Amino acid sequence: MTNAALPVRENPVSEERAEAQPWWRGAAIYQVYPRSFRDTNGDGIGDLPGITRGLPHIASLGVDAIWISPFYRSPQADFGYDVSDYTDVDPIFGTLSDFDTLVARAHELGLRVLIDQIYSHCSDQHPWFTQSRADRTNPKADWFVWADAKADGSPPSNWQSVFGGPAWTWDARRGQYYLHNFLPQQPQLNGHNPQVQDALLSVAQFWLDRGVDGFRIDALNFAMHDPRLRDNPPAPDDGRPRTRPFDFQQHLFNQSHPGIIAFIERIRALTDRYGAIFTVAEVGGDNALAEMRAFTAGPRRLDSAYGFDFLYARNLTPALVCDALSAWSGEGDEGWPSWAFENHDAPRAASRWWDEQHHEAGVRLKLLLLTALRGNIILFQGEELGLHQDEIAFEDLRDPEAIANWPLTLSRDGVRTPLPWRADKPQAGFTTGTPWLPLGAGNRVRAIDRQEQDEGSVLNLVRALLRLRRSHPALRLGAFEGCSGDDDLLSFDRLWKDARIRCLFNLSLHHTRGLASLPPEARVLMAVNGASPEGLPPLGGLLVQL
């Protein structure tokens, strides 16, 4: 299977832009979390046929692509991010034939298909690790990060796991410790080993040959470690909550090795052979901005990267937006940013930023803001419905991180609950069985079928916003200029040639004064929550063409 041409989408930005820019620049991408999207066989877990059945809904939003979270064979210790076979579909999700059908249908609907690639670790049940742990002399002995104990039997370094506890686990068969930056069931691949890189590139080629249009690369800055295994220094107390031992260190040596760049260039060389492939890296940590820039600089590296500027932010402020967006000037060989307010790892944004009374208005404001950002924008499934963060009782938790750190960490399970399709159906139409996570009553009433019938729904707002972004080059492709914040009033401009769009957002819960800076001829393109040139009500937002 090859990457077939896609049908022409409605509301193109312009013929000139279509010829001059790659399809992904300024794209809107919809993230699908397979376990929770749609179940077709009644086992309570979403599957690939369910995604295929739901593609018309996604296409109706006006997005350019879907990103599908892992569906590979896996013991599901971390729900697919612990891969035991990179080139097969886990039976709970379907078959390779189901995946091929999904890709073909997506392309028919004008949607590109991006999939996750996990290059920093795999499952402890992967045949690579089974062979590697057998002894110290087998052909894959150096495919993972092994090290002898210190003289007192303690781990080789002080590195801590993201999910809590030491990043080293003792293995009696080898008589050594192995590294895992996440769960012990996710041993760290030795990205320094050229054979490991070759194997991972073969995985990428397998899926490119099946017609995928790009990759979201998970935790890429964890792909290589310091071979000297030096201890991480302690992190100064900056006032942020520390809920895990991981939070007490500066992560200088367990991740972010300079050698990652050369591996990235190998990835790019491969994807360039397939044409218009899009690559975006997930990059977290205190040095994320510098790494995102390095990973995307110039034409030989990745196309884009996204970090956690908004994903874990406790409050939405003008300073947060201005700092994040101003860091990407678009000058020189700088890469292209991507932005997300929610994903499978981060709680629902409106539930983080506003109380229940202001939830609906907050949802509309954040969607308008997302539409106006320079870069690619990513919608997590259910964001188009304005879903709340579901409250999950401890006995119903499935997320290993939430269980280990309960109750100090907001559960990832609360954002992963099933997508509601039909408000009046059992389990909101997601499944005929018992869903793997419970869906809250507050989200059931926000089901797709109910919002389809309401012209003023969040769902129809999203469609209107994406049509607007698609039809205005200034929003999709334009420069970002003049970001300022005054008493919670956020303002910035988007520019494309002679077009200028002013973007105004009242992030506060009080009314703003009149917007005297707007000229009389300014044309309102979109307003939410009662905003107008005369003023912005609480959480009001306005896009105007000057």
The torsion angles phi and psi of 146, rounded to 5 degrees, stand at -110, 145
Locate 356 and state its tokens.
């229940």
Query: What's the CA gap between 156 and 408, in Å, rounded?
Result: 29
Greatest CA separation for the chain: 77
Q: What is the DSSP letter of 26?
A: T
First-residue to last-residue Cα distance in the chain: 47
**Cis before 407? omega within 30:** yes
In sequence order, which residues have a C-beta less than 8 Å from that of residue 236 and are 6 or more positions away?
none
User: What distance in Å separates the CA atoms of residue 179 and residue 182, rounded to the nearest whole number?
Assistant: 9
Active-site residue list = 218, 282
Per residue, the 3-state secondary structure of 49-107, as one string, reads: HHHHHHHHHHHHHCCCEEEECCCEECCCCCCCCCCCEEEEECCCCCCHHHHHHHHHHHH
Q: What is the DSSP string of 320-380?
A: HHHHHHHT----TT--EEEEES-BTTB--HHHHHS-GGGHHHHHHHHHHHHHHSSSEEEEE
- Least Cα distance to 5 among 114, 104, 100 occurs for 104
Helix, coil or strand: residue 524: strand
The residue type of 469 is R
Sign (positive or negative) of CA dihedral 459, 460, 463, 468: negative
Angle at CA 419, nearest 5°, toward 414 and 424?
A: 115
Q: Which class for 331: exposed (0-12), middle (13-18), buried (19 or more C-beta within 10 A)?
A: exposed
For residue 499, the 8-state DSSP code is E
